[in-house]
Amino acid sequence: MAENKSCAFRTSIGGQALIEGILMRGPERQAIVVRDQEGQLVEKTEELRFIRDRYPILGVPLIRGTVNFLDSMVSGVKALMYSAEFYPDEAEPSRLEQWLEKHLGSKKLESAVVALAVALGVGMSIFLFLVLPTFLTGGLLHFVPDFPLWGRNLLEGILKIVIFLIYLIVCSRQKDIYRVFQYHGAEHKTIFCYEAGLPLTVENVRIQPRHHPRCGTSFLFVVIFVSILFSGVVFGLWPITNVWLRTAVHLLLLPLVVGVTYEFNRWVGRHVQENRLARILTAPGLWMQNFTTNEPDDAMIEVAIRSLELVLPSEKGKDAW
């Protein structure tokens, strides 16, 4: 497997694919690089200010996972909106959009849109991968009242994975998403090239694998898997059949699930190259990336290289994972 290539070191730098561009986040700054409609690279950099610097408790293990997840979602939505400005929708703004901009102003409207997008994204994920399986298995009890609780827990877990797979497959088949997933592949390849200690050239990046163990796709899959384990233990010790109460317990467990998953990803990021157990545990998440990453062209690789160059730390090694 190409993913098993040895690396000079592991970096904490990560990124996100955008519309014809890439967001990269390093230890000191983040950068957005977009290729506009004229084919030129447009760059935007921003110094990072971490909330954990003001509130150290938010940086401790298990807590920092949820904080970093929400922070990355907010910055990701903002970056996505920025990249979309280079490829505007030709349709006239709706009356609602015009009214909101008039009464809120562009800055407040942007903040409101970002908050709404994050809330909808988190809410949709919770509904699809946590709430929906619980309600589906709850409905089963109306037809099979004596269905064993352990069987319901198992079925609920299987449904979570199946729904997640269907979601990835449907997304991967959208024509507009295909190029975004190509940029996703370019981001992974560029980070691998940097970790291998090779010069950041198109030729060196092109030959790198496109599946990375610290990818967001793998993170979401592990979140689902960890939630299945936690639910099995909790509902095994505390048998709950009421659908609403089970849903409430799932939601209460979610911050802990995200925190544990984040720490797991950190451990994997350090040891996946030399630890066989880490490679086995990350294999399903890497396989899932077949749906969310595509092979990029050279122009996309150029965007990824430039975005990575802009976030390299001033002090060598500061970004070590």
Q: How confident is the model over 52-75, as a mean pLDDT?
A: 85
Instruction: Name the more confident of 92 and 168.
Output: 168
The DSSP result for 121-133, as a single string, is HHHHHHIIIIIHH
Assess if residue 12 is contained within a domain: no
Query: Taking 50 as the threshold, does the pLDDT of residue 248 lie above it?
Result: yes
Assess if residue 48 is contained within a domain: no
Assess if residue 269 is contained within a domain: yes
Structural domain that includes position 298: 95-309
**Cα separation, 290 vs 283, whole angstroms:** 12
Confidence of residue 102 (pLDDT cuts 50, 70, 90): low
Tens digits of residue pLDDT in 264-309: 888 887 777 777 888 888 888 889 999 999 999 999 999 999 999 9
Assess if residue 143 is contained within a domain: yes
Q: How many domains are there within the chain?
A: 1
Predicted confidence at residue 304, as pLDDT, reads: 97
**Cα separation, 260 vs 285, whole angstroms:** 16
**Cα separation, 115 vs 108, whole angstroms:** 10
Assess if residue 123 is contained within a domain: yes
Question: What is the pLDDT of the chain when averaged over all its residues?
Answer: 85
User: Which residue, among 161, 169, 165, has the nearest Cα to 133 in the 3D structure?
Assistant: 161
Contact call for residues 303 and 33 (beta carbons, < 8 A): yes
Task: Give rounded-to-5 percent helix, strand, coil for the chain.
Answer: 65, 10, 25
Predicted confidence at residue 23, as pLDDT, reads: 96
Query: Taking 50 as the threshold, does the pLDDT of residue 4 lie above it?
Result: no
Predicted confidence at residue 201, as pLDDT, reads: 96
Q: What is the pTM (predicted TM-score) of this model?
A: 0.84
Highest mean pLDDT pick, 52-56, 110-114, 158-162, 302-306: 302-306
Confidence of residue 91 (pLDDT cuts 50, 70, 90): low
**Cα separation, 234 vs 306, whole angstroms:** 47
Contact call for residues 28 and 47 (beta carbons, < 8 A): yes
Q: How confident is the model over 109-134, as a mean pLDDT?
A: 79
Assess if residue 222 is contained within a domain: yes
Predicted confidence at residue 95, as pLDDT, reads: 61
Assess if residue 17 is contained within a domain: no
Q: How confident is the model over 43-58, as a mean pLDDT?
A: 86
Predicted confidence at residue 131, as pLDDT, reads: 87
Assess if residue 144 is contained within a domain: yes
**Cα separation, 216 vs 262, whole angstroms:** 11
Q: Is the dihedral of CA 49, 214, 171, 185 positive or negative?
A: positive
